[in-house]
A and B are shown apart, each in its own frame.
Chain A
Amino acid sequence: MAYVINGLTFAMMLFVLSAGLNIILGFLGVLNFAHGALFILGAYVTYAVTQTLGDFWLGLLIAPLVVGLFGMLIEFVFLRPLYKRHHVYTILLTFGLILVIYDIIKIIWGSDVKTVVTPPLLSGSFTLFGEIIPVASVFIILVGVLTAGGLWFIFKKTTFGKILTAISLDREIANALGFNVARRGTLAFGLGALLAGLAGVLGSLKLSIAAGVDAEFLIYSFAIVVIGGVGSFRGTLLASLIVGEMSVLGGVFLPELSMSLIFVLLVVFLTLYPRGMFGREIEQMHVPVVPYLGNVATAFQRLSATQLSLLSSLLVVALLVVAPLALPKYWTYLLAEIMVFALFAISFNVLFGFTGMLSFGQASIFGAGAYTISLMLIHVTGNWWLAFAASLVISTGVAVIIGLMSIHRSEIYFGMLTMAFAMLFYSIIYKWNSLTGGADGLSGIPSPVLKFGFTEVEILTPLANYYFILVVVAICYFILRTIMNSPFGQVLLAIRENPTRTEFLGLPVKKYKFIAFVIAGVFTGVAGALFAPFAGTIDALASHWSKSGEPIFMSLIGGISTLIGPGVGTLFYYVLHSYIVSITEYWQLVMGSILITVVMLFPMGITGYAKKFILSFKSS
Chain B
Amino acid sequence: MNELEVRDINSYYGKSHILFGVSLDVAQGQVVGLIGRNGAGKSTTLKSIIGLVPPRQGSITYQGRNICGLPSHRIAKLGVGFVPEDRRVFSDLTVLDNLEIMKQVNPRGEGQWSVERIFDLFPKLAQLKDNRGMDLSGGEQQMVTIARTLMINPSVLLLDEPTEGLAPLIVREIKRLIQEVRKTTTILLAEQNLRFVLDLIDYGYVIDQGKVVLQGTAAELDADEHAKQKYLGV
Contact = CB atoms under 8 A, between A and B. Distances in A.
Nearest to A169: B90
Interface in B55-111: 71-73, 76-77, 82, 84, 88, 90-93, 97-98, 100-106
Contacts of A169: 90-93
Nearest to A164: B101
Interface in A338-353: none
Interface stretch (A98-106, A176-184, A491-499, A588-596): A176-184
Given A162-B100, A166-B101, A177 B88 contact: no
A434 interface: no
B33 interface: no
Given A159-B104, A177-B148, A172 B52 contact: yes
A179 B105 contact: yes
Contact of A163 (B77, B101, B148): B101
B52 A176 contact: yes
A170 B52 CA distance: 13
A159 B101 contact: yes
A177 B102 contact: yes
B101 A178 contact: no
A172 B84 CA distance: 10
A128 B149 CA distance: 57
Given A165-B93, A169-B92, A170-B88, A178 B152 contact: yes
B105 A173 contact: no
B164 to A, nearest CB: 16
Nearest to A231: B92
B92 A179 contact: no
B50 interface: yes
Given A159-B103, A166-B101, A173 B84 contact: yes
A327 to B, nearest CB: 50
B51 interface: yes
Nearest to B106: A178
Query: Which size bracket describes the interface of B in this complex?
Result: 20 to 34
Interface residues of A, number: 17
A176 B71 CA distance: 9
A175 B92 contact: no
Given A162-B100, A172-B52, A177 B152 contact: yes
Contacts of A180: 71, 73
Among A166, A173, A177, residue most surrounded by chain B Cβ atoms (within 10 Å): A177
A276 to B, nearest CB: 16
Given A173-B84, A176-B84, A162 B101 contact: yes
Given A165-B93, A169-B90, A170-B88, A177 B105 contact: yes
A77 to B, nearest CB: 19
B73 A181 contact: yes
Given A166-B90, A166-B93, A175 B101 contact: no
A163 B73 contact: no
A175 B104 contact: no
A165 B90 CA distance: 8
Nearest to A172: B52
Contacts of B102: 177-178
Contacts of B152: 177-178
Contacts of A163: 101, 104
Given A175-B72, A176-B51, 8 more contacts: A159-B103, A162-B97, A166-B93, A169-B93, A175-B73, A177-B76, A177-B82, A178-B76
Listed from nearest, the 9 A-B pairs whose CB atoms lie closest are: A178-B76, A178-B105, A166-B90, A175-B72, A176-B82, A176-B72, A180-B73, A178-B77, A162-B101
Interface of A: 159, 162-163, 165-166, 169-170, 172-181
